[in-house]
Chains A and B, each alone.
Chain A
Amino acid sequence: MATTNSNDIAIIGVGLYPFGRHHDVSAIQMGVVAANKAMDDAGLGWRDIQVGYVGSLSVMMPETMTKFLGYTGVPISKMFNGCATGGNLLLNTANAIRAGRADIGICIGLDKHPKGAFSAGESMDSTGLPQWYGEVGLTVNPQFFAMKIQRYMHEYGISPATLTRTAVKAFQNGELNPAAWRRSALSADEIDSSQMVCDPLRKYHFCSPSDGAAAAIVCRADIAHRFSGTPIFLRAGEFVTRQYGSIDVQATSFSARATIGASEAAARAAFESAGIGPEDIDIVQCQDTEVGHEIMHLAEIGLCKHGEQEALIADGATSLSGRLPTNTDGGLLANGEPIGASGLRQVHEIVRQLRGVAGPHQVQRELKTGLTHVYGFPGSSCVTILSK
């Protein structure tokens, strides 16, 4: 069935500056490398790029990359939506093409962060949260994530072993992925004996901030055959902010009346737009800031029922050889999170998995459709559905 936006946009190139700690390389330089790799993948050059969207927390004006890529006059706009930035960059590039502004565009995410939990800084003004909330120590993302999974475990019977199995899987995938930051597998014992950060979540249940960049080249699907990169089609993409009552990061209060969260809303809209259902998804990259959110997001996206994760994960369903391979490149746990780049790392991975060229962590069966999902402060989410 034809839908409003199926198969009119193709991704023809992806590039990655592997995530990690790169003290001597600026975020802008990482962005330039990722863009060049994406252009090489597509078989085109910077002069072919007619529109671009760039995302970064740490770089105020990432369009300064044009100094290094070439001063061609191309309109490059910045957007930043926290952890949901990457997906939204892809959507906005696609929308500019749909609007007839360009035939070929680029989206680039790039970032670089200090170690440790993200800080709002001295003033809470830019967070929309009160100053006293920060002063007393409530503006801490790990704290919120811990409280959400704590309740979820209580309500749906998820065990601590399932948290740890999810981390074991992430580091196993990272060990296989040459581009991952954390390349050593960890045993369940090592994870369970790591420091308690915020109950019930331990150190190795969390990702860390990191440095890196990712890029994708997008074009009108009807001209995709002109370029060398095997096209992957953007079947749907939706970006949403939360509704009142949802339990989304962060909240001084929320309503006891149950409301779906931002991730669920974005996923429902994306499936409706694509005209397919969760049963059609062969592979998924979802926001795994910590293991709790990978587990909860699987159900929020609609890929399983709430509580089913306990059995699914014990059966290995989310591993590379399982029914629903999840965060196949090691996800945030093994790659860390340069916030502005993270969503496009997911797109990079899905595109390469669908093409069958992911490398040692390639899923060993035919994949047709993949899903990317990013989510974060202040309760916003972006879901994209990509198909061969």
Chain B
Amino acid sequence: MGKQIPIKEDLFTWPSAAPQLIGGRCPECSEFHFPLQQNCPSCAGRKVDSVELSRRGKLWTWTIQNFVPPVPPYTGEVKSFKPFGVGYIELPEGVVVESRLTVSDASKLHIGMDMELVLEPFRIDEQGNEIISFAFAPIATY
């Protein structure tokens, strides 16, 4: 029986019943970014604080990825590929983050809708472990 493994350490709080993305906040210019990096991409400051970002936000834009992304780097299912939703979600901190969406039906997505962060299995690795990644889900539908 495999384990559940996050796709990347320190990308989101793990394990967590109410997961949050881990981003950066610059104490100089107060801008946020995701994922956390060394220098502030806004003011080029050299000190950045790690912050847990809000779980909820609004869908800023979206699309449906209808074809298999180039492999590599894509490591998801190819033979049984199913189109997936992708969007940018505006968080209350004033940062807009890119994410997969749990919804892949264009008729169920509209700009401005309320979204919430969830963690979900992305793929099974060779050892049978579930690789866990993040996605945003419409709040109304679950």
Contacts and interface: CB of A to CB of B under 8 A. Distances in A.
B110 to A, nearest CB: 9
B99 to A, nearest CB: 8
A257 interface: yes
Interface string A109-125: 00000001111111110
A255 B95 contact: yes
A147 B61 contact: yes
Interface string B26-68: 0000011111000001110000000000000000111111110
B95 A154 contact: no
A253 B42 CA distance: 12
A156 interface: no
Given A138-B86, A138-B98, A255-B94, A244 B73 contact: no
B14 interface: no
A252 interface: yes
Contact of B70 (A117, A147, A195, A196): A117
Nearest to A117: B70
B125 to A, nearest CB: 11
A248 to B, nearest CB: 12
B15 interface: no
Given A130-B35, A146-B63, A147-B63, A135 B86 contact: no
A135 to B, nearest CB: 4
A106 B42 CA distance: 37
A192 to B, nearest CB: 15
Secondary structure dominating the interface of A: loop
Interface residues of A, number: 42
Q: Which of A119, A139, A199 has the most CB of B within 10 A?
A: A199
B83 to A, nearest CB: 9
A141 to B, nearest CB: 10
Interface string A188-215: 0000000111111100000000000000
Contact of A137 (B23, B31, B76, B106): B76
Interface string B76-111: 100000001011101000111110100000100001
Interface of A: 116-124, 130-132, 134-140, 143, 146-148, 150-151, 154, 195-201, 244-245, 251-257
27 contacts: A120-B72, A122-B73, A123-B73, A130-B8, A134-B74, A135-B7, A135-B73, A135-B74, A137-B65, A137-B86, A138-B100, A139-B73, A143-B69, A143-B86, A147-B63, A148-B61, A150-B63, A195-B66, A199-B64, A244-B31, A244-B43, A245-B42, A252-B35, A252-B97, A253-B34, A254-B88, A255-B32
Given A151-B61, A254-B96, 12 more contacts: A117-B69, A118-B70, A120-B73, A122-B72, A131-B8, A134-B72, A135-B122, A150-B62, A154-B61, A198-B64, A201-B63, A255-B95
